Amino acid sequence: MKSHTAQRTLLQMAAATTIIAGVLFSLTPIIITLPLAFVDQVFLGLPSGTLTGKWFARLNLPMWRQAVGTSLLLAMSSSAIAVFLAALAAYHTIIRPRTSTSGLLRSMIVTVLIVPPIWIGTGILRLAGEDGALGLILPHALLGLPPAFVCVWYGMSRLNPELIQAAEMLGASHWAILTRIYLPSIRTYVVAALFVAFLTSWDETVFPLLLTGPETHTLPKTAFETMRLDRDWTVAAVNFVTVAALSMILYRVLKNADESLG
């Protein structure tokens, strides 16, 4: 028993060290960069200098307005498409788990997840050429589909099968089962799917750099280019606003997901 206590203490110390190290490694870079939205600094270093609101004011410039607007439009439309298609794919693989079509869908989803996005971008660039922001919606939806599928499929697979059997016996169609039983019952997972698909598009840099011309601005592209040319911390101002909003959504999603796991 004495050795059990010693082992427990050792494991607890190891656990505490891991938690502290993990949290520090994850959070410190963010804690450092968040104040950069409020300081007058044009170099890459710890935040210093006088307080300023100029990075927030720069959000009014046409280039940044277009970048934020385009990225929002892209992220919202592509995540809606990704989640719609993910729900269809998840439903198909749930109701026909051992068919070749389900196997093919799963294989393609995994393949899109693991191949480098630049490889897909090379193909789109060659076949479709450079296009404006609208040309990015489907490529972004493609990248958002795998993580959205994982969320929706996970939610669907946890649903009580008796509910579905009851609906089938009462004569419900596939569409009714999907839209009136599955999706309302797995709201949390659908929100999580929308969230991850939105973030996938919001953060995506390769496709905008590759597939759009100089007149099209998305947030990652503009931030990447302006940060390289002149340390423009407007992206920190945008980020400050989005972090506040998205953290609240993330907290709700995690809270609900954790509760449903028990």
Partner 1 sequence: MHPQSQLGNRTPFVAVSFLLPALLLAAGLAAPLIAGILDLATLDSRAVHAQSRILAAVLSRTVAFAAISACAATLTAWTFALAIDSLNVPLRKALLTISVIPVVVHFLLRTYGLHILFGPKGPINAALMSSGLVQNSVPFTYSAAGTCLALTSWLLPISALFMHMAVRHVPSVLYDAAHSLGASPWATLKTVSLPQTFPAALLLFALNFALGYGTYLSPELLGGLEDVTVVRLIAQMLREGRSAEAAWFGTIATAIPVTLFVILTKVRSLALEQLS
Using the contact rule CB under 8 A, the part of the chain among 56-64, 171-179, 183-191 near partner 1 is: 171-179
Judge contact between 50 and 42, C-beta under 8 A: no
Contact status: 122 vs partner 1 (CB under 8 A): yes
Contact status: 137 vs partner 1 (CB under 8 A): no
Q: Which of 57, 61, 63, 108 binds partner 1 (CB under 8 A)?
A: 108
Contact status: 22 vs partner 1 (CB under 8 A): yes
Q: Which two tokens stand for residue 69?
A: 């607007």
Contact status: 70 vs partner 1 (CB under 8 A): no
- Site size toward partner 1 (CB under 8 A) is 104
Q: Find all residues with CB under 8 Å of 55, minimum gap 6, and list them.
A: 36, 37, 38, 232, 233, 234, 236, 237
Residue 115: phi and psi, rounded to 5, are -85, 150
DSSP state of 43: S
Contact status: 152 vs partner 1 (CB under 8 A): no
**Looking only at residues 199 through 258 of this chain, which bind partner 1 when binding is defined by CB under 8 A?**
199, 202-203, 205-206, 209-210, 219-220, 223-224, 227, 235-236, 238-239, 242-243, 246-247, 250-251, 254-255, 258
Contact status: 193 vs partner 1 (CB under 8 A): no
Contact status: 185 vs partner 1 (CB under 8 A): no
Q: Find all residues with CB under 8 Å of 239, minimum gap 6, and list them.
A: 33, 34, 37
Contact status: 189 vs partner 1 (CB under 8 A): no
Contact status: 166 vs partner 1 (CB under 8 A): no
> C-beta of 121: minimal distance to partner 1 in Å?
8
> C-beta of 194: minimal distance to partner 1 in Å?
14
Contact status: 14 vs partner 1 (CB under 8 A): yes
Contact status: 86 vs partner 1 (CB under 8 A): yes
**DSSP of 169-195, one letter per residue?**
HTT--HHHIIIIIIHHHTHHHHHHHHH
